[in-house]
Amino acid sequence: MGLSQETDEPLTPAGRMFLRPEFDQIIHCVIGLDREIDVEAIKLQVEKSAMVQHPRFSSLFVRDRHGRERWRKIQVDIDRHIIVHEGPVIGDSVPDEITDEDSVNDYIADLAVSSPLSTDKPLWEIHILKAHKCVVLRVHHSLGDGVSLMSLFLTCCRRDEDPSQLPTILTAGPGERSKALNPRKGLWKLAMAAWLTALYVMEFVMRSLFLKDKKTILTGGDGVELWPRKIATAKLILEDMKIVKKSIANSTINDVLMAVTSSGLSKYLKLRSPKALPEGHRITGVAFVNLRKQPGQLELSQLMKSKSGSRWGNKIGIVLMPFRYQVGGTDPLQSLRWAKAMVDKKKLSLESFFSHKFGLLVMSCFGPKVATSLIKRVVNNTTFTISNVVGPQEVLTLAGHKITYIRVNTSSLSHAITMHMVSYAGKADIQILAAKDIIPDPQVLARCFESSLQEMKKAAIDQIGISE
């Protein structure tokens, strides 16, 4: 493979941060297929897709003679990026009882802590688990954020009902992001936005310095990112979430997700440490949010335009999500009311934009080591990570194989628990990545999320009078 220094491109500030050893982040996109995998067909589909031609997927990470990080364009050898596992992948579970899902989750959990990407080739791989009808796309976070990488992977896919058509994705529900970015004019609204921004920015700065959550059974900390992991999947139905959001005017799927998370964590804490926490005890989550301007449907070509507001890269901000421990109650929808009130305030503020700009400012003034240290302190001083990527809602195929599910998680952080939700074809799966010495039973937490949604759905049906 030939190298050319003339076309080297500098890394973005976010790319430099994600490549720091103390914050080395790899995204794992897990794709389930409906039948035995034709490896050659998938290899051919990937090879002719826009993904391999994209500059970030066809460049090496290098340092020039001055020590500056650069992307260097090369010719991609597709065979070096596709890793085929012919037989079963056995994890921690008892062999007689293990399912395909258990095997895949154990495999990804191992990758989350012990398998960095080699820098002698572009920073992505495709692992094909033939025995489990599953494909795992591993992509370094320096190449792009969840929306960017989801869009590029989808160039390898086609719509099941019309194979000539590429999929589309949603950056947010129609109008949700535009509401968040364009609050109504008026002195009161502007005053509230300014006040909330100042309040949340102050907390963000304090979190990066000294303020931290009180310890619970969910607490991680510096060094926990190196501990062994377990993964469980909470399987939610998007239609159930839509029914729940109808129970409170102007609610969104994100509001429902936050309500399910709050209620599910409270259920789990109550099971694991009954009477150990007072009602209202606060635990704080770090939510990564998309900052692109484009609401609604996003055509894949938009992300490739350099002047587009939805362009490629890491356009994400951090929002701190305060959750309150709930001992119990008779109204399951109370969690949704609380979550909506909290998320509405977060939307009105400019917290996510500040965190993004703050990171860029620190990076430009003090370098990636200091910026990474501050962001990592925010993680160390909070309890969990949560994100939500809206995937395609139509059924897709990959090289003629129907896709049965799409799930996402990342390599481990110093949190003991990270949660990533992706919606696809009416499903909304949450991958729960847990440090197993702190949270030995993430499958119990998954059931807590699932039961919380069902309780909210039943209460919503009773309230709005619709049939299931």
Q: What is the 3-state secondary structure (H, E, C) of 134-148?
A: EEEEEEEHHHCCHHH
Catalytic residue among 141, 356, 401, 415: 141
Question: Do 261 and 324 contact (CB within 8 A), yes or no?
Answer: no
Q: Report the distance separating Cα 445 and Cα 265, nearest Å.
A: 7
Nearest Cα residue to 421 out of 432, 437, 412 = 432
CB atoms within 10 A of CB 386: 21
Query: Is residue 141 flagged as an active site residue?
Result: yes
CB atoms within 10 A of CB 68: 12
Q: Report the distance separating Cα 15 and Cα 24, nearest Å.
A: 10
Amino acid letter at 192?
Answer: M
HSE at residue 295, side-chain half, CA atoms within 13 A, is 10
Q: Report the distance separating Cα 164 and Cα 159, nearest Å.
A: 7
Residue with tokens 């620190």: 362
The pairing of beta strand 384-390 with beta strand 417-424: parallel
Residue with tokens 């709050």: 262
Query: How many Å is the maximal CA-CA distance in the chain?
Result: 69
Residues forming the active site: 141
